[in-house]
Structure 1
């Protein structure tokens, strides 16, 4: 499902005004490979991403999105990066401000495939060749590969 029902319900009240939402990025690793998919809405090559449902734990959301979008089971290992994404304006005028929680994850089982239509293709890509991956998503992948504490933007 591209847009969660709770977001559609909120849009009935707020219209196209900026809507603050929390999302997850699951950087799923298998050896020296990362799972990426080509988004059906804009053709971008990205890790698995999604919106956190009301009352849902963020790590649970990352695992759910991996299964829903790519048909794989994962282990969520750690929170790698917390950052605000610049405002997104969609073709219909809706505006959203996403707080992204990027997780480092490990593939457990399942052969990836575009399970729910949000991706047109899903597969494993070598970490040393991320041709076609945009800068923002490269930054999320890099954060997940770093050892050490969670990265926070704007922290003092």
Structure 2
């Protein structure tokens, strides 16, 4: 990803633009996610916070911070894994499609991609025709990354 400070500054400006505040603890949690290539759980973030700041942070505080960051479109929650990842589009100024996540089942690296809106619409129609309503168009796709594939060969 880009320079962490640049990303955090952009996130701070984004929050300010609609009256929200990116506090020091929020910045630290976001920074940990930005620097990680893997999705992290709240408890992994608690451990990182302690390592980096020498300060303990309660789990409820981390969950509130993650809820805030998700509401600000700065992080995404991977629902199947119950982990979080920084949005790969934090510094972009344009609107993006629905985020989708490729998750390596070997090394747990996560890559955010976008899928064409027409593909999502087709998926919604298929779901509707099956007698269901799509609650979230976010897909989390189990994959194996090229590095893991190459090292397994």
Is the pair's TM-score, using the shorter chain for normalization, greater than 0.5?
no
Q: Relative to total residues, which structure has the larger strand share, 1 or 2?
A: 1
Q: TM-score range with shorter-chain normalisation?
A: under 0.3
Q: Relative to total residues, which structure has the larger helix share, 1 or 2?
A: 2
Which structure has the larger Rg?
A: 2
TM-score (norm 2): 0.24
